[in-house]
Amino acid sequence: MGQFDLETDAALTQINWEELSKTPGGEFAEIVGDLLALTGIAPLVVVGGTSNLLLKVRRLAGASYTSNLIYTITAVRNDLADLYAKHAESRKRIESLQTDPKFAEAIAALALRAMHTSVKGRLKRLARIVVNGVKEDDLDPECLDDMMRAAVELSEADIRLLKEVYEHPVPMDMNETDKGRADSAERMGSIAKLQAVAFVQLRTPGLDLGANIVVLLPSGAKFYERLQEISTGNT
């Protein structure tokens, strides 16, 4: 297919993002087109809703976040290459992205969210959410928006606690798991943040007086799974 090659790698490092961002309005429609091409797929045919999408994000380019954007797009490209190499069943799906307006919308949403953080771990989460969405053939815009918002808002400590809840064989009782821990207050803060994005639910059952039972919600399980490396994520 000739998609993930050295020529594309060179393009990622040679584009003068600083000069592009100084253009009045950023000409972001053109930049997003470049981003789509640099993910390793052929440039999208800009028609209908896709052209409206590109116009919508035209005004958002700026020098303050171009490095975030190129880092995230490079992560998307690398994860797509990994997916293409290791999951033969996904190859046709990847090859069809050039005609998929949902993928264009996902890239534009990613560009929007990349404005809100400079933390590389969070930027990498954005890339994983998009590429695992490609893998699962699930690029629903509303669901992606919710997950991307959480990806840039949650801390590494929040994600570690979500992992703990995900891997726990039964709903966790925080009173038991946090007994004697010096960071129990911080962990309850993480639970509050995870509740706020509807990833977990904290229950205090009447029969278990004083218990703080944390239940993983389907949206939290899906979010955690979408953050996994392509080579180790669910198939």
Q: What is the pLDDT of residues 29-77, one digit of tens each?
A: 455 555 565 555 544 333 333 343 334 334 444 445 667 777 888 888 8
**What percentage of residues in the chain have a pLDDT greater than 90?**
33
- Per-residue pLDDT at 175 exceeds 70: yes
How does residue 125 score in pLDDT terms, banded at 50, 70 and 90?
very high
pLDDT at residue 214 in the model: 92
Write down the residue that tokens 């995900």 correspond to: 166
Q: What is the mean pLDDT of residues 16-36?
A: 47
Is the CB of residue 163 less than 8 Å from the CB of residue 199?
A: no
Q: What is the pLDDT of residue 44?
A: 37
The fraction of the chain above a pLDDT of 70, given in percent, is: 66
State residue 22's pLDDT score. Answer: 45
pLDDT of residue 35: 59
What pLDDT is recorded for position 109? 85
Q: Which domains does the chain have, with CATH numbers?
A: 6-153 (no CATH), 156-222 (1.10.10.10)
For residue 223, pLDDT over 50 is answered with yes
Question: Which segment, 52-61, 67-76, 170-179, 214-223, is predicted with the most confidence on average?
Answer: 214-223
Question: Is the predicted pLDDT of residue 82 greater than 80, yes or no?
Answer: yes
Nearest CA to 44 out of 118, 111, 128, 101 is that of 101
Q: What CA–CA distances, in Å, run from 123 to 52, 154, 168, 225? A: 25, 12, 27, 16
**E-state strands within the chain:** 172-173, 200-203, 213-216
Question: Residue 105: CA atoms inside 13 Å, Cβ hemisphere, count?
Answer: 17
Q: Tell me whether residue 217 is exposed, middle or buried, using C-beta atoms within 10 angstroms of its C-beta: 0 to 12, 13 to 18, 19 or more.
A: middle
Query: Does the structure show a pLDDT above 50 at 14?
Result: no
